[in-house]
Amino acid sequence: MAEKIGKTAAGCPGYRFAALHCGLKKEEELDLALIVSEVPAAAAAVFTTNRFPAAPIVYGRRQRAAATPVSAVLVNSGNANACTGDEGLAQVETLAAELAAVLALPAEQVFVSSTGVIGEPLPLEMMLDSLPRFPALLSSSHLPAAAEAIMTTDSRPKTCSLSLKLSTGEVHICGLAKGAGMIEPNMATMLAYILTDAEIAGSQLQGLLEKVVADTFNRISVDGDTSTNDTVLCLANGVSGCSLAGSDDEKEFTAGLYQVADQLARMIVKDGEGATKTVEILVKNAPDRQAAELISRTIGHSLLVKTAFYGEDANWGRIIAALGYAGVDLDPARVDIWLDQVQVVAGGRRHPDYREEDGAAVFKQDDFTVTVDLHAGDGTFSLLTADLSHEYVSINADYRT
């Protein structure tokens, strides 16, 4: 069984971390992170579905298609290297080659990620000049610094870890992520790196990661915007010597992987730009899962609903209006809605026992659930989302200035 998850990760056996300031951010903030595996690690990844993939995404997809192991991960914040054409891709290739030379690794084993402003070329020379500083900074205890270096509008680093007992012995999983705005995973809107010392083949790891991402990172939304740079990378370096010996081990490891991914995903929503509320939109008994997901996302993306969350105004009419325009065939007379345990709507109408002060009390909480029951099938989907505050507008109105 998995030990209780730790929200602050010290690291994972067989991995070292480093972070430095290279000039992408102002005032000596950390802006360049490095993860190094002691031995080449099996790798799995999922990337953005945005039709304008950033240069590191193009490069990373090629790497994963070739199924090459990964020994180092370089991540910069402050610049997305997106919409930069052939020049941006050439810069990724140069960074990988130069870092490989510094670390005495094959260039094809260097994975590169970027996050930040779209449309600006990387200050390549400045970054290249910083790479030789990394070897002296690498440490198994520097994961928190690496998590800090990949932040953009995040207010805090996001890390977690756990250990698992498999039939073959103990293994560890840790993760770090960034994300606070432009969050609408499809897959997935943010950067996340999950590391384990378990011994797993890349093809098996890919299947497990895709399953876990579908139920974690792809069920969160802050603002409904899908980024150009979304990446979840999972590495398994096998230094524990413990493999997944059978189906029970695979189930146990998958559960641990889910716990880490779910914790990181929840951290992203709770740190949403300007967010003051974390709200689960649960749709159940829909005609099918697709219908439930469409309704859940429609409600969770509604600006009127999100501002009602922020204003602590239990205006259930905004919820039912979003439900009605989601494009799902339903019978209004069968719809019930709850705010936590308070039933607001029964049969498409205000519940006769509903009191406004009860709904307002729910909305005053930092975390609550909106449940919509269509009584039309067995489709279920839940989305974790945030409210929309004045601060969100301020952050994004001034993002580049």
Site of tokens 């969770």:
300
Distances (CA, A) of 304 to 294, 350, 394, 395: 17, 19, 18, 19
C-beta separation of 382 from 282 below 8 A: yes
Please give the Cα distance from 81 to 24 (Å, whole number).
12
The C-alpha atoms of residue 138 and residue 115 are separated, in whole angstroms, by 22
Strand-pairing partners, residue 78, are 116
Show the DSSP H helices in 330-388 as ranges: 356-363
Q: Which residues contact 165 (CB under 8 A, 6 or more apart)?
A: 1, 252
Instruction: Find residue 171's DSSP bridge partners.
Output: 164
Task: Choose the catalytic residue: 152, 189, 226, 371.
Answer: 189
In whole angstroms, give the CA distance from residue 331 to residue 341.
23
Count of Cβ atoms closer than 10 Å to residue 390 Cβ: 10
**Burial (Cβ within 10 Å: 0-12, 13-18, ≥19) of residue 298:** buried
- Backbone dihedral region of 284: left (phi > 0), alpha (psi from -120 to 50 degrees) or beta? beta
Encoding tokens for residue 15? 């991995």
Q: Does residue 401 carry a catalytic annotation?
A: no
C-alpha–C-alpha distance, residues 94 and 84, integer Å? 15
Query: Which amino acids are annotated catalytic?
Result: 189
